[in-house]
Structure formats: C-alpha cells, structure tokens
Amino acid sequence: MSRMALGLCYDGSPWHGWQTQPSGKTVQDQLEQALSQFLAQPTSVICAGRTDTGVHALNQVVHLDTGAERSSEAWVRGLNALLPHSISVQWAKAVDDNFHARFSARKRTYFYVLRHDRVRSPLLHGKVGWEFRELDIDAMRQAARYLVGTHDFSSFRSAECQAKSPVRELNMLRIHQGAGFLLFQFEANAFLHHMVRNLMGALLYVGRGRLNADELPALMVRKDRKYAPPTFAPDGLYLAQVQYEHNDAIPLFDPFQLLQRHLGLLSLTLS
C-alpha cells in the first residue's frame, strides 16, 4: 500500500459541506464514489479541513491509501472524468506513509471574498458574499488587529463545534481592497467550526458602526457565543491554502493566484 495526496478545488454551493452524510450530497461522498470507481474498490479519504455547506475550496488537501499504481496525470484526468463539474482534482502526488492531510498541516489560509456594491450580482450568487451598506474599512482593520494572536475564540465558535480546545493562534487577518470587492485573508494553525464566518460577522458589525473595534477584546473575554454578532453567509468563503512543514511533495501555490485563476471575473487589485 502507498499513500497518495490530492489537491481539490470545488464549488461548495451544491453540496452539504465536506463531511460524508447518508444523503451522499457532500464533497467527501462524491470524491469517495469517484475514487471507488476509479480504483475498483471501496476507498475513503481524510481531508485537511472540513468545510461547511456552501463553503468553497481552492486547494483542499486529502490523502488516501491504495495499492494502485497510476501516473499523477492519470489520477487527475481519471478522477475528473468521474466527478461532478463542481469538484475537480488539481494535482496528485505520492507521499510518505507518515503524511496526514489533517494532522501534518501546520497552517491554513481562508479567504472571504465580499462584493461591496449597492446592488447584488446574480452572476456571482453563491461565489461571493455581498454587503450594500457603507463600511468603515479603517475601523475593521483596527478590529482585525485585536483578533490576531493566540486567544480563546469561544465567542466565535459554533455550538456544534467538537474541538477539544477553543484556543487558536490567528497568525494573520488582513483586509485587501479591490475594484468593488473586499478580500479578507485569515491564516491560523487551525480554525474552529464557523470561526471565520463568525469573525466576518463581527468585522462587518464594526464596519457598519454597530460595534466598536475596541469592544472586541472584552467580547473575547466573555467566551460566550450569544454576545457576539451573527454568523455571516458562507457564499464568499474559500479554503485557500494548507501548508505542511518539511514536505516537498505537497505543492505550495500562491493563494491569490489561485483565486484569480478560478474567479477571474473578480480582477482583484489587492492593496
């Protein structure tokens, strides 16, 4: 048996999240069905991060064990011929047996793409979030600075979160401005369930003037979800990158280039 790693890009809009469900309407179910057909035997995978319903991925990483010998190109072409159009394998690499898509990961990057315009765009429905109100970007950036660091993020975790600890290290939270868009870049060792969408809700409350940036530290100290702003929509959320230390087999892409490659309509000029 050997271990293979795959990189996936998918539109999460048609699916009920990543994790397998009896309905079969998840990304994991669709991939495992394609793999079982491709390899002619039941096959299961482990992913780097379980995305929620409606959440997308630019470079989700999964691994599986198999006795099959195929070229990297055969893995990509063969699986994509069996997958629905909303899911695509981007690359395939043989990895060491000690590689684990989830537990070997050291850093994860999520993007939230927000269209900031008076009127919603039907052409981008499900692909980006939308905000029509005026936003104070400087206040939002001040709020972001309070969130960076190692904190107890209980105020920003879902009630269904199964993580043993609410403490996470948020290494980066940047807000980039483009032509009619805002791009939020979140980077951490790991994320709690709904953490990014809950942080987005808080940042937008600050931008709208419904919450002061300097109230965020006290909100985190309360460690209670009920005091924080509501969860924001999943539409514009993308798992952009997963980084592994000392593993040259896993391709490392510029997440901004991936975003523009797959969402060229945005033509983001980042600042």
Tell me which residues are annotated as active site. 52
Measure Cα distances from 139 to 84, 165, 195, 207, 209 in Å.
Answer: 42, 29, 20, 6, 9
Q: Cα separation of 214 and 146, whole Å? A: 8
Structural contact between residues 129 and 199, judged by C-beta atoms closer than 8 angstroms:
no
Q: What does DSSP assign to residue 54? A: T
Q: How many residues does the chain have?
A: 271
* Strand, helix or coil for residue 134: coil
User: What are the φ/ψ torsions at residue 241 (nearest 5 degrees)?
Assistant: -160, 145
Structural contact between residues 223 and 155, judged by C-beta atoms closer than 8 angstroms:
yes
User: What are the φ/ψ torsions at residue 38 (nearest 5 degrees)?
Assistant: -65, -40
For CA atoms 90, 21, 18, 149, the dihedral sign is negative
For CA atoms 81, 85, 91, 93, the dihedral sign is negative
For CA atoms 104, 107, 108, 109, the dihedral sign is negative
Structural contact between residues 182 and 176, judged by C-beta atoms closer than 8 angstroms:
yes
Structural contact between residues 133 and 116, judged by C-beta atoms closer than 8 angstroms:
no
CA angle (157, 166, 148) in 5-degree steps: 85
